[in-house]
Amino acid sequence: MAAVAERLDCGLRRNDGARVDTLRFSTMGSVDDGKSTLIGRLLFDAKGLLEDQLAAVERTTARRGGEGLDLALFTDGLTIEREQGITVDVAYRYFATPGRRFIIADTPGHEQYTRNMVTGASTADLAIVLVDAVRGISRQTRRHVAIAALLGIPHVVLAVNKMDAVEFSSARFDAIAKSFAAAAHALGILQVTAIPMSALHGDMVVDRGERLAWYRGWTLMEALENASPAKAAPGLRFPVQRVASSRFGAARDLRGYQGRVEAGAIAVGDEIVAWPGKIAARVADLVTLEGSIPLAVAGESVTVVLDRQVDVARGDVLTHALDVPAISRRFEARLAWMDREPLSTAGRYWLKQGTRTVRATIESLHSRLDLDTLEARRSERLEFNDLGFARIATAQPLVIDRYATHRTTGAFILVDEATHHTVAAGMITEPSLG
């Protein structure tokens, strides 16, 4: 049991023995609201940058005619980003405090790169939505908040940035915070922390500064350190990535199923079922590069060896025998449409869910989200960057989990059969009864 407990408690520990966990968060917001500058300020003030990074950014800033450090350059790493002054791709950065590790996804704000923003935010425990204190909430801000709701991100921090440009007005902050809270609540986001700040000067990012004395709440760093990480998904989910026949011992040539534990844990002796074929077996061994282990937990990659030869293939999902998932060829889903060509119910698509790929069609489109009113409107089409609600049908049955419960088996992408373009990202809401 000691070995099992050690594997379950796999986080770093502080000197006082307390466990150090990891929080993944994403930045969102419209172009020029200051996302890259905020992350640069956060890394700089939290001492999360190396000397060579500081020196490189100082040289680039000077070469461009600036003084000191252009904080946005710490995350805008692509040539096109530095030339145009916008974020195009997702930039991941890592830093730690004594109590927590952080993984940052700095995502694009431009409408053209919404698909990259969805990708970067899809694994976040928390979203920081920036709003320019001068311009206020934009249509793109509402789109990003809607995507945060779509992705089921449990915590949202409203960062009202550039407060220095409005003379640190508490009235301006209150107006934006009230408007944002109404929009977030309309989309089902109930946990919103609003913070006024100046990313350029550092007020309320890591240090409180002296110009926002009327604000008594958390700084951004305090909000990040106190946010609860996402709850672990219930039950075992092990999508099979590869079937391998290897010699796992001196005299055994066994068939193993390789993949990553996406939720729950799997142990030697567990009775499991492979879906959608409903094939039952018992776990005989768990093998890693370091050898056999008694238990594998979420996030770990392993080869599962069963006690008998069974017909399990790539794309099948292993669960515990008593944890029976829904198996269906139809389900309801929310879609983020990413293609320049509008959605067509006559289109033919490949649906990729975890490690499984099947043919699919969009049987019907129920509604489209109106970004001005944040209401679902009856519609027969989705255009580029629209968000909607549809019924999907697949040629073969799938393990169907609600995205709110299991992100891996609850999410999918649609790829056009003819163009091979990724046209949509989807989140399953429930199996279809029709």
* Neighbouring C-alpha atoms within 13 Å toward the C-beta of 310: 24
CATH code of the domain in which 338 resides: 2.40.30.10
- Single residue among 226, 254, 271 that ends a domain in this structure: 226
**Higher local confidence (pLDDT), 425 or 49:** 425
Partner residues linked to 193 by β-bridges: 157
Write out pLDDT tens, residues 100-111.
Answer: 999 988 877 555
**Higher local confidence (pLDDT), 82 or 240:** 240
* 91 shares a domain with 40: yes
CB 354 within 8 A of CB 332: no
Q: What is the pTM of this model?
A: 0.77
Res 222: pLDDT: 95
Q: Does 45 have pLDDT greater than 70?
A: yes
Give me the mean pLDDT over the 332-343 stretch: 92
**Domain with 51 in it:** 2-226
Partner residues linked to 63 by β-bridges: none
CB 96 within 8 A of CB 23: no
Q: Domain total for the chain?
A: 3
Res 247: pLDDT: 53
Q: Does 1 have pLDDT greater than 60?
A: no
How far apart CA 346 and CA 361 sit, in angstroms, is 8
CATH code of the domain in which 20 resides: 3.40.50.300
Res 70: pLDDT: 62
The two tokens of residue 44 are 């700089």
* 356 shares a domain with 302: no
* 204 shares a domain with 69: yes
Residues 6+ apart with CB under 8 A from 366: 332, 376, 378, 388, 389, 390, 391
How far apart CA 50 and CA 396 sit, in angstroms, is 50
**Higher local confidence (pLDDT), 72 or 133:** 133
The reply to whether 231 falls in a domain is no
212-220 long-range Cβ contacts below 8 angstroms, 24+ apart: 212/163, 212/168, 214/170, 215/170, 215/173, 217/193, 218/193, 219/195, 220/38, 220/42, 220/128, 220/157, 220/159, 220/195
* 427 shares a domain with 290: no
Res 88: pLDDT: 47
**Radius of gyration from C-alpha coordinates of the chain:** 24
The reply to whether 419 falls in a domain is yes
Local confidence band at 251 (pLDDT 50, 70, 90 cut-offs): very low
Res 115: pLDDT: 63
The reply to whether 232 falls in a domain is no
Write out pLDDT tens, residues 270-301.
Answer: 999 999 999 999 999 999 989 999 999 999 99
* 424 shares a domain with 291: no
How far apart CA 237 and CA 368 sit, in angstroms, is 31
Res 71: pLDDT: 64
* 139 shares a domain with 281: no
H/E element, 119: helix 114-121
The reply to whether 233 falls in a domain is no
Q: Does 12 have pLDDT greater than 80?
A: no
Local confidence band at 206 (pLDDT 50, 70, 90 cut-offs): very high
Residue whose C-alpha is closest to residue 362's, from 397, 385, 384, 388: 388
The reply to whether 412 falls in a domain is yes
- Single residue among 200, 226, 252 that ends a domain in this structure: 226
Give me the mean pLDDT over the 391-419 stretch: 93
CB 157 within 8 A of CB 128: yes
Residue whose C-alpha is closest to residue 335's, from 431, 424, 421, 417: 424
How far apart CA 173 and CA 194 sit, in angstroms, is 9
